[in-house]
Chains A and B, each alone.
Chain A
């Protein structure tokens, strides 16, 4: 008999496989759609800073459709394992998925086609779904035992999520003719608290579980993880004050300096975990993770250039590119291609004495295609912005779409192999949840 099938606590520590996988599946689909949206908006991409259109739709397909979608699916399975809490009820998570997934589609379509009402309807669904997620997340963090550094990152990300949602609401209302907050203030807060705050802090916090888990190394020193988080939170607080017009330039530079210190500390801990781990060969997935870390540093350098008003055309766009595609998307796709087969194997171990290995569930060739296409697309987009070339932007978006399709093929192969390996009773429960 398989251990997981026998143990009483197993059921409370694992969600039905269909729950994280449906979030990952939607993220994979939105990943491809994001590149198509970017292709549609390539004419405006090189100098894009704000405003309705396909570049804005592509941005939100990446942030909400890929990044947040994956974070929801991964965090609600992994955090309970780390914090020794029961997983949340599967039906709540299914309800969140059903509200959130079409909400993201409506929001992106509204942004792309310039229809504020579609956008507002989508924004409302996304807002409600993310409030539901925030409630589940708070419940988990409140009862957390151990891992204070991860929990602190979780709470900081949770607060940032609320700020990001409030400012998103203000921005959606702006397109309906209501102005609850100055638009430039709302944009500045939204960018900082959604990207660096919610997604960034979550990424840094979950890294303290995931990187040692994959590298098979000791957990990072809790005191240093807490110090890194405190520096990041202080940076966000200064960025918020600057957004409201308080000593804007000085506080923005101070915020970037504190963020650099937080990142330096984080990367030092990650380097130590990777060097001290029993598993040294982590493959292409961790090359993407490392590229993501480099891009995080570059995003802060670009942010400094923007804060100081450096006279470089397209600098604001480059900042967004390094932050969203360079850091967050590259990092997340690197992690997702490891975590999806790992979670699949973990679930299959519940009903089988000889579960398939994560590597046997994965598909190397599609991942190799994705790896090269993603990095080529990232470089191509950066060149397009520097050269102000819509044609180059379109070419890069096309290459990115090929990479996203390859990533989709990897996910389909994973599902197929998972289904082929699953015991009959587990196939039924996977479909039913």
Chain B
């Protein structure tokens, strides 16, 4: 698992599995989750999906995904978790 510090003393976590690259941004204040997720998808050169683990619906993220040709699909998550699968569509 990788941890990168963004903002003031908080960190997002990323890891890989068969489903894709996971990023956990729970507990981060806005706009850190947005920046972390956009930064991750911009670093991906192929069609690898990204699984986002969030504690709220990331409403600010959708326009940024649209600008980059990515879409979000909701997945079942843990209680209190919002889990999304992000995929490149163009």
**Which A residues have a C-beta under 8 Å from some C-beta of B?**
1-4, 6-7, 9-10, 13-14, 81-82, 84, 146-147, 209, 212-213, 216-219, 221-223, 278, 342, 345-346, 349, 353-359
Contact = CB atoms under 8 A, between A and B. Distances in A.
A354 B57 contact: no
Given A3-B72, A346-B59, A212 B31 contact: yes
B56 A9 contact: yes
B84 to A, nearest CB: 6
Q: Which applies to chain B's interface (DSSP): helix, strand, loop or mixed?
A: mixed
How many interface residues does chain B have, given as a range? Answer: 20 to 34
A222 B63 CA distance: 26
A143 to B, nearest CB: 14
Given A1-B74, A219-B29, A358 B57 contact: no
Contact of A358 (B32, B59, B67, B74): B67
22 contacts: A1-B73, A1-B74, A3-B72, A3-B73, A13-B56, A13-B57, A81-B59, A213-B31, A216-B31, A216-B39, A218-B32, A218-B35, A219-B7, A219-B8, A219-B29, A223-B8, A278-B35, A278-B42, A345-B66, A346-B60, A349-B59, A355-B66
A9 B57 contact: yes
Given A147-B30, A342-B63, A346-B63, 10 more contacts: A1-B74, A2-B72, A4-B62, A13-B56, A146-B29, A216-B31, A219-B29, A345-B63, A355-B66, A358-B67
Contacts of A346: 59-60, 62-63
B82 interface: yes
Contacts of B25: none
Contacts of A342: 63
B67 A353 contact: no
A216 B34 contact: yes
A216 B56 contact: no
Contacts of B67: 357-359
A387 to B, nearest CB: 45
Contacts of B59: 4, 10, 13-14, 81, 346, 349
A349 B30 contact: no
B71 interface: yes
Listed residue (B7, B31, B35) with the most chain A CB atoms within 10 angstroms of its CB:
B31
Given A10-B59, A219-B8, A221-B8, A354 B32 contact: no
B38 interface: yes
Contacts of B56: 9, 13, 84
B6 interface: yes
B89 interface: yes
A221 B8 CA distance: 6
A212 B35 CA distance: 9
A219 B31 contact: yes
A417 to B, nearest CB: 13
Interface string B6-42: 1110000000000000000000011110110011001
